Structure 1
Amino acid sequence: MKVMRPSLLQPMLRSVTSNTLHIQSKTLSSLPLEGVKVVDMTRVLAAPYATMNLSDLGADVIKVERPGIGDETRKWGPPFLSPTLSNYFACCNRNKRSIVVDYTTHDGQVIIKKLMAQSDVFVENLKPGTLKKYKLDYENIKSSNEELIFASLSGYGQDGPYSKQGAYDVPLSAEGGLMGITGPVDGEPVKVGVALTDICSGLYLYSSIVAALYHRTKTGLGQQIDVSMFSTQLSMLVNVASNYLNSGIIAKPLGSSHLSIVPYQAFKTSDAYVVIAANNDSQFYDLSEAVGWPWLPSNPMFSTNELRVENSEELLKHLTERFAEETTEYWVDIASSFSFTAAPINNIQEAFEHPQAIHSDIVKTVHNEVDDVDIKVVGHPVKFNGKDPNNYTAPPVLGQHTISILQDLGYSDEEIRVLQKKNIIQSAT
């Protein structure tokens, strides 16, 4: 077994008293995952999003890509930032180093194994069974690095009747129930505006890796992580799933309205739309005051949320007429004096020009020196001790760091030239 890396142990002091683990934090002088090394053999969105989050917190992430093609999202455009960088690729691959290796060859497998032997985490989202063909799967690797956390993300998990199927966000959101509850009442199927199943799967993967790193500080051992996008999608159904499992209710698309809360939806105003959220009786009383109907809560049809749900058609008819009489700005302004919420439906430009977005300084600019291009990215949304991680580097061009990574592994210049000549590796320079 390798010696535990001190960098993973230094941030915490542990003592056990009465079977309870007490953790006393030291002053943070570095990023939370500084010293963690990650081999990232992922592509598209879900898993790269997870490894980007690890990199935001200080992990050294080495992105392993295929010769010639790399991550196919490099070509997902327009729009493009440069001939080698699409906006899509840039959204989930900042802070990473790119090495191009043909892992289907013997020499390529040797490189991957050397990377694994020196790393804390290995992340992949290939079809289950792919790495086993090249003896790069967990069972073949764990004996050489018992501390390695081997994390896999796939459409349906590593086993089961659908495990060999490839998967993407929209088909999985369809199979997993999300599209079945999204869209207008009695309308055509509608997907969510971003790849929500991908993103949530990536966040499960990311949090599972962080949990495994913590577990390793107690045991000295790594482990295998299996994240299924299908299972993730089922877990995302939350209250809709609970309604079905416990009450047999099969939800249907409701537009912007809510099955269990009324009013909680968008209403057309005189000039646009406004979203109203009155989640409890107190907020409904305030809403009634704001619309000029203070008597409304005394109506036995609307006095509780349960009654408002039962009589939603009647209540929403009146509210729809009332909200249409004023502008969206009017309703947003008046809500600021009450406990209910009113919000405009912003487009993307309006969202990033929101005063809170500007205050949070969430948009960062990074520079890729190879393509000589400035790239704007949405930074990490979490602050630590009031500070943004703020260690952002540009998403790499294909093979930008191949040579330096191989040199770090101990390859000589001549060995690197031979690997290039055999097309086992590829470099941007």
Structure 2
Amino acid sequence: MADSTKVGPLHGVKVCDFTHGVAGPYTTMLLADLGADVWKLEKPGRGDATRYMNVSKRYRGDIPRSGGDYFLAINRNKRSVGVDLKTEDGRRLALALASRADIVVSNFRPGVMESLGLGYTDVRAVNPGVVYASLSAYGERGPLASQPGMDVAVQARSGVMSITGYGGMDPVKPGVSLADFAGGSHLTTAVLSALFQRERTGEGQQVSISLLEATMSMLINYSVAVIDGGAVIAPMGSGHPQLVPFQAFPTSDGYVVIGTGTNRLFGDLCDVLGAPELRDDPRFLTNVDRVANREELIPLIEKLTRTRDTAEWLAIFEESSIPCAPVNTMEQALTDPQLLANDAIVEVDHPVVGPLHVLASPYHFSAASADVRMPPPQLAEHTAEVLSEVLGLDEDQIDSLRSRGVI
């Protein structure tokens, strides 16, 4: 449970957030969860595009003030500041905020922030110690550097879609936005590393991540096999090209996933399946053998797993410490007792939509916190508060900016 006596490890760190969409806001949410004060700059009257991404019926009447369910999921612990970057005064205001920040984060295409006078050189001139983080689809060099790139396009280009699904199917992407969240996670790591280096040297720097490279890094276990070994990785459903058995198997009422990554675990599996002869079969003695003879082994295991229901097999496998799991729906996963036992779902009171349940931070500290402190912000909710607190603007100055459409 939350400990009110602890603060986040990034408490006191200020983040000027120019991100939009998914990957960038996920980065700044992670920083906010770790205790940073994140000022999310949004276009007045419009806001982040994810405010309009929605699949549940509950929030439809509250868009765009509160945001759709996608926005609500990845923007907690932030303060929203409405600033129109298309105006000269808006750009000056944004630069002033960036000059007071420890970290600046942007996921515009390369060149956009520079065209606004908010690039690294511009910000460094007024804030030499800044850690300036940039996230793009394809990187800052190369023929695609200036091209926009959505998660699905990056997944296609990276090769992820070519190994997902089953052979003979149309291209399939994983059910998760792998490129966006890989990019956001890697950018967070880069930002924290640069912040740590600044603590030692006093110097800021620019860090950058591309969604393409971040996604490719998730495929690193296949890279040597393909580049140096000439391997062709084909889609194989829930299976694994380098480990067998390591996939979902049919039961009498559904499926159970079994993952035996060692020879010992495979032997244990054979014992609990009541088929010790498989352990001693020369075709299946080692993982290399099992991979080579996958087509012979999998049907033999499937025949056995069909004899009991999923719950029975889970009890048997867990008793023998064999890695296993049910194939949960999202609803089942989000109410799984194991998840709830670790306080992984947090309820926060949102002033518009009411009680809101979000996934808690996955980070756990013994001497710090990573709590959900604030609900996702309403559009421009904290504009006056941040401008007064950070820039020292008074009420008349803020009213003037508002009357001119700057904020």
For normalisation by structure 1, the TM-score amounts to 0.90
Give the aligned residue type for 1:395.
Answer: P
Segments ≥4 residues shifted beyond 6 Å: none
Q: CA shift at 1:235, angstroms?
A: 1.1
Tell me which residue corresponds to 2:28: 51
Contact conserved, 1:186 with 1:253, CA < 8 A, in 2?
A: no
Task: Provide the C-alpha distance between the structure 2 equivalents of 1:194 and 1:388, rounded to a whole number of angstroms.
Answer: 27
Per the alignment, in what secondary structure is the counterpart of residue 39 of structure 1?
strand
Per the alignment, in what secondary structure is the counterpart of residue 351 of structure 1?
helix
Counting aligned pairs with the same residue, the percent is: 37
Tell me which residue corresponds to 2:233: 251
Q: Which residue, 38, 46, 66 being the options, matches 1:61?
A: 38
Whether 2:400 is the aligned partner of 1:423: answer no
Structure 1 unmatched runs, 5+: 1-27
Per the alignment, in what secondary structure is the counterpart of residue 91 of structure 1?
helix
**Higher helix proportion (structure 1 or 2):** 2
Task: Provide the C-alpha distance between the structure 1 equivalents of 2:106 and 2:218, rounded to a whole number of angstroms.
Answer: 22
Contact conserved, 2:99 with 2:126, CA < 8 A, in 1?
A: yes
Matches within 5 A, 1:9-408: 30-79=7-56, 80-81=58-59, 82-83=62-63, 84=65, 85-369=67-351, 371=352, 373-385=354-366, 388-408=369-389
Per the alignment, in what secondary structure is the counterpart of residue 319 of structure 2?
coil
Q: Which residue, 370, 393, 399 being the options, matches 1:411?
A: 393
Task: Provide the C-alpha distance between the structure 2 equivalents of 1:407 and 1:163, rounded to a whole number of angstroms.
Answer: 38
**Higher strand proportion (structure 1 or 2):** 1
Q: CA shift at 1:158, angstroms?
A: 2.0
CA displacement 1:71-105 (0-9 Å, x = unmatched): 01101124253332211001110000001111121
Task: Provide the C-alpha distance between the structure 1 equivalents of 2:149 and 2:217, rounded to a whole number of angstroms.
Answer: 17
Give the aligned residue type for 2:181.
Answer: I
Give the aligned residue type for 1:410.
Answer: G
Q: CA shift at 1:337, angstroms?
A: 2.5
| Alpha carbons of structure 1 residues 342 and 30: separation in structure 2 relative to 1, 3 Å | closer
Q: CA shift at 1:389, angstroms?
A: 2.2
Q: CA shift at 1:185, angstroms?
A: 2.6
Task: Provide the C-alpha distance between the structure 1 equivalents of 2:111 and 2:324, rounded to a whole number of angstroms.
Answer: 50
CA displacement 1:205-261 (0-9 Å, x = unmatched): 111111111000011111001110011111111212221022111211111111111
Give the aligned residue type for 2:383.
Answer: T
Superposed CA RMSD in Å reads 1.5
Tell me which residue corresponds to 1:13: none
Contact conserved, 1:58 with 1:391, CA < 8 A, in 2?
A: no
Give the aligned residue type for 1:149.
Answer: V
Per the alignment, in what secondary structure is the counterpart of residue 286 of structure 1?
helix
Q: CA shift at 1:386, angstroms?
A: 7.5
Task: Provide the C-alpha distance between the structure 2 equivalents of 1:388 and 1:143, rounded to a whole number of angstroms.
Answer: 34
Task: Provide the C-alpha distance between the structure 1 equivalents of 2:348 and 2:375, rounded to a whole number of angstroms.
Answer: 5
Task: Provide the C-alpha distance between the structure 2 equivalents of 1:232 and 1:372, rounded to a whole number of angstroms.
Answer: 34
Give the aligned residue type for 1:247.
Answer: G
Task: Provide the C-alpha distance between the structure 1 equivalents of 2:238 and 2:324, rounded to a whole number of angstroms.
Answer: 14
Task: Provide the C-alpha distance between the structure 1 equivalents of 2:365 and 2:231, rounded to a whole number of angstroms.
Answer: 41
Task: Provide the C-alpha distance between the structure 1 equivalents of 2:317 and 2:128, rounded to a whole number of angstroms.
Answer: 57
Contact conserved, 2:8 with 2:368, CA < 8 A, in 1?
A: no
Q: CA shift at 1:342, angstroms?
A: 2.3
Contact conserved, 1:57 with 1:389, CA < 8 A, in 2?
A: yes
CA displacement 1:294-332 (0-9 Å, x = unmatched): 122211111111111111111112111111121111211
For normalisation by structure 2, the TM-score amounts to 0.94
Per the alignment, in what secondary structure is the counterpart of residue 74 of structure 2?
coil
Tell me which residue corresponds to 1:20: none
